[in-house]
């Protein structure tokens, strides 16, 4: 059961204004072999998304200036990134919060604090070609 790095080479962006959340996600993802791109707000993320073309994006709902819903909507409106999975991160878990994410095009909603397992399962679920063990 020692498939060393099951997500080797997958580019994952984490957008969150909390340094603790960014750092936790970065550690979990890097241990699984991912390349991690970090951004502390929606504005910062837009430039980095264009530069790095992540395979999957995690975005915090509650951020100053440009919140996660607005950030997700901007990502999904861009033809180049329309199919890039965007997973909303939030400490709120109401039906209303989840619906807000769906309305702007998010692919899933992950509640904080997340575990290493739930984070990696979410990545694997949105990269089906990786689940089968195929290289991209």
CB atoms within 10 A of CB 22: 19
SS3 label, residue 40: coil
Listed by start position, the domains of the chain span 11-124
Using CA atoms, how far apart are residues 13 and 96, in angstroms rounded to an integer? 25
Asked if residue 51 has pLDDT above 60, the reply is: yes
pLDDT tens for each residue of 76-105: 999 999 999 999 999 988 888 888 899 999
Measure Cα distances from 54 to 42, 98, 131 in Å: 15, 23, 18
Q: In the block, which residue shows the tokens 């951020």? A: 63
Provide the pLDDT confidence category of residue 134 given band limits of 50, 70 and 90.
very low
Fold of 11-124: Rossmann fold (3.40.50)
Of 72, 79, 67, which is closest to residue 56 (Cα–Cα)? 72
Using CA atoms, how far apart are residues 14 and 107, in angstroms rounded to an integer? 15
pTM of the model: 0.90
Provide the pLDDT confidence category of residue 133 given band limits of 50, 70 and 90.
very low
């Amino acid at each position: 059961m020692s498939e060393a790095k099951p997500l080797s080479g997958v580019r994952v962006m984490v957008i969150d204004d909390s340094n603790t959340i960014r750092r936790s996600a970065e550690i979990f993802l890097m241990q699984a072999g991912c390349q991690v791109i970090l951004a502390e707000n929606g504005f910062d993320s837009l430039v980095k998304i264009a530069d790095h073309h992540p395979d999957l994006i995690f975005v915090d709902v509650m951020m100053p200036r440009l919140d996660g819903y607005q950030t997700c909507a901007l990502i999904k409106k861009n033809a180049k990134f329309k199919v890039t999975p965007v997973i909303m991160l939030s400490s709120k878990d109401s039906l209303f919060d989840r619906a807000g994410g769906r309305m702007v095009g998010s692919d899933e909603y992950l509640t904080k604090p997340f575990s290493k397992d739930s984070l990696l399962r979410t990545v694997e679920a949105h990269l089906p070609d990786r689940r089968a063990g195929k290289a991209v």
